């Protein structure tokens, strides 16, 4: 097949253009060759590509990172099952279109979903052009989407067997401590101390359901009016304590003048965006749930992200992120320490 390269004249790392193109023709209804492939900016874990066919139709392809990964991570079939199930509910997701498990096609499993035409507000500059009213809508809509997700019965969307429901926080502390031990390049004392404090203060799991695991504005698509159009990046989704998602989204909810682990470029700083207090209150009103133990979940979110980020940092050092991705490894490595320090600061406030 001809004209398989992307706009820069080269097929991006992680795509066997000829074999993937043949698979697309056979498995994705309406896909017309030739196809152009381009890396979608963002994400340091699973690799995401935009696929454009001869008619201008666009799709999204997801595959694991290049090189060795931890055995339990980056399960494409699991992620495809999740978006397929969530897609039957009122929680907006990109349509699941096809899954490839044949390693002969692209050397790793991958799946294809529909392309959602909207905006990812991952950083403050991304919000330029959005009015204060539109940004307020974005914040409210994000919280409403989280509440709707947590209201789902996993069995009703075919995800009742997604994972163990009980002891979510204990399982998270064990899982990411194991990843930390397997991936770390150095010692970070705040990781160890936060793990100890959180392990001694795990709250009773009162609300059980689907946990996205990486819920934030940067993992969502919004329309020009600010309304939520699609929740993205379901790689870490599981079943368990849904309060963990609220703690996680608050971790990214930087407000003016607030220290937030060195992340001073969050879209939540945009004029008009709702405050963290408003976000918590909106969630509580929409769900009817007690949010009094939220600090535990915020600390857990910082700690877990530090463990995950160290794993990404380790993969970069092993050359597994792909040469087409720009990566400030020194800044990223320093950011892991800031996350760990923030986790410890919040954990030390717990009674």
Report pLDDT digits (tens) over 29-65.
999 999 999 998 644 578 999 999 999 999 999 998 8
Structure confidence at residue 308 (pLDDT): 87
87 and 96 Cβ atoms separated by less than 8 Å: yes
Global pTM value: 0.87
Residue 193 has pLDDT above 80, yes or no: yes
Beta carbons within 8 Å of 261's beta carbon, 6+ residues apart: 302, 335, 338, 339, 341, 342
Structure confidence at residue 328 (pLDDT): 59
What is the Cα–Cα distance from 321 to 31, expressed in whole angstroms? 28
Of the two residues 118 and 259, the one the predictor is more confident about is 118
Residue 323 has pLDDT above 50, yes or no: no
pLDDT tens, position by position, 63-85: 988 874 544 456 899 999 999 99
Q: Is 314 buried (19+), middle (13-18) or exposed (0-12) by CB count in 10 A? A: middle
What is the Cα–Cα distance from 281 to 277, expressed in whole angstroms? 6
- Which of 32-46, 100-114, 310-324, 325-339 is predicted least confidently? 310-324
- Which of 28-32, 69-73, 298-302, 309-313 is predicted least confidently? 69-73
Structure confidence at residue 63 (pLDDT): 93
Mean pLDDT value across residues 183-203: 93
User: In this prediction, what percent of the chain has a pLDDT beyond 90?
Assistant: 76
Residue 1 has pLDDT above 50, yes or no: no
Residue 290 pLDDT class (50, 70, 90 cuts): very high
Structure confidence at residue 296 (pLDDT): 98
In the Cβ-directed half-sphere of 203, how many Cα atoms lie within 13 Å? 23
Residue 157 pLDDT class (50, 70, 90 cuts): very high
Structure confidence at residue 262 (pLDDT): 61
What is the Cα–Cα distance from 334 to 232, expressed in whole angstroms? 26
Residue 351 has pLDDT above 80, yes or no: no
Residue 186 pLDDT class (50, 70, 90 cuts): confident
What is the Cα–Cα distance from 175 to 189, expressed in whole angstroms? 18
Average pLDDT along the chain: 90
In the Cβ-directed half-sphere of 333, how many Cα atoms lie within 13 Å? 13
Of the two residues 202 and 317, the one the predictor is more confident about is 202
pLDDT tens, position by position, 11-32: 999 999 999 999 999 999 999 9
Mean pLDDT value across residues 256-274: 83
pLDDT tens, position by position, 86-127: 999 999 999 999 999 999 999 999 999 999 999 999 999 999
Phi, psi of 114 (to 5 degrees): -70, 155
What is the Cα–Cα distance from 64 to 36, expressed in whole angstroms? 20
DSSP 268: G
Task: Retrieve residue 172's tokens.
Answer: 């998270």
How do strand 36-39 and strand 47-52 relate by DSSP bridges? antiparallel
Beta carbons within 8 Å of 173's beta carbon, 6+ residues apart: 195, 198, 199, 202, 300
Cis peptide before 172 (omega within 30 of 0): no
What is the Cα–Cα distance from 333 to 277, expressed in whole angstroms? 31
């Amino acid at each position: 097949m001809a004209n398989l390269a992307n706009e820069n004249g080269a097929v991006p790392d992680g795509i066997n253009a000829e074999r993937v193109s043949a698979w697309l023709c056979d498995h994705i209804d309406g896909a017309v060759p030739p196809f152009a492939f381009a890396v979608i900016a963002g994400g340091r874990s699973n690799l995401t590509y935009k696929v454009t066919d001869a008619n201008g139709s666009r799709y999204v392809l997801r595959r694991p990172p290049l090189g060795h990964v931890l055995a339990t991570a980056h399960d494409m079939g699991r992620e495809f099952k999740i978006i397929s199930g969530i897609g039957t509910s009122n929680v907006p997701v990109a349509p699941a279109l096809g899954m490839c498990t044949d390693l002969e096609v692209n050397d790793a499993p991958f799946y294809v979903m529909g392309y959602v035409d909207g905006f990812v507000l991952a950083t403050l500059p991304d919000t330029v052009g959005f009015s204060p009213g539109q940004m307020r809508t974005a914040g409210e809509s994000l919280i409403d989407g989280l509440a709707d997700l947590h209201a789902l019965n996993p069995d009703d969307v075919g995800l009742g067997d997604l994972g163990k429901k009980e002891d979510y926080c204990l399982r998270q502390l064990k899982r990411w401590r194991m990843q930390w031990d397997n991936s770390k390049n150095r010692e970070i004392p705040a990781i160890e101390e936060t793990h100890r404090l959180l392990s001694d203060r795990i709250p009773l799991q009162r609300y059980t359901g689907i946990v996205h695991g990486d819920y934030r504005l940067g993992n969502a698509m919004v329309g020009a009016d600010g309304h939520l159009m699609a929740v993205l990046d379901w790689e870490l989704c599981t079943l368990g304590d849904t309060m963990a998602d609220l703690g996680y989204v608050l971790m990214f909810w930087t407000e003016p003048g607030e220290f937030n682990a060195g992340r001073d470029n969050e879209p939540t700083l945009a004029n008009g965006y709702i405050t963290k207090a408003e976000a918590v209150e909106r969630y509580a009103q929409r769900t009817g749930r007690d949010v009094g133990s939220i600090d535990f979940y915020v600390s857990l979110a910082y700690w877990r992200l530090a463990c995950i980020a160290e794993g990404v940092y380790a993969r970069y050092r092993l050359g597994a992120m792909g040469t087409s991705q720009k990566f400030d490894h020194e800044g990223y490595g320093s950011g892991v320490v800031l996350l760990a320090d923030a986790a410890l600061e919040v954990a030390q406030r717990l009674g």
